[in-house]
């Protein structure tokens, strides 16, 4: 889609809405993409670790877009 086509289909107020949404909840897109990128990073590092290195966890390689979001499902269960 070209910029001209986009301007015909979306209003300035809608763009403002999506900007506010993204500031609140992080980049628009699929969480799965972040997880897949985290897997690539994690598996790239695994062969280069020492034998006595601590275990590698996927959560260390997946970005958290909301600073107040729980780090894992366990934290969510504890709060509820």
Residue of higher predicted confidence among 78 and 22? 22
Average pLDDT over residues 11-31: 85
pTM: 0.49
Q: How far, CA to CA in Å, does 9 sit from each of 16, 27, 29? A: 14, 21, 20
- Of 19, 23, 24, 56, which Cα lies nearest the Cα of 40? 56
Residue of higher predicted confidence among 10 and 71? 10
Residue 55 has pLDDT above 60, yes or no: yes
Residue 78 has pLDDT above 60, yes or no: no
Residue of higher predicted confidence among 21 and 80? 21
Model confidence at 38, pLDDT cuts 50, 70, 90, reads very high
């Amino acid at each position: 889609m070209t910029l001209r086509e986009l301007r015909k289909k979306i209003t300035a107020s809608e763009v403002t809405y999506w900007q506010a949404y993204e500031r609140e909840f992080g980049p628009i897109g699929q969480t799965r993409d972040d997880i897949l990128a985290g897997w690539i990073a994690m598996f790239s590092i695994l062969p280069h670790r020492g034998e006595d290195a601590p275990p590698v966890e996927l959560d260390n390689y997946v970005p958290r877009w909301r600073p107040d979001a729980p780090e894992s499902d366990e934290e969510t269960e504890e709060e509820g």
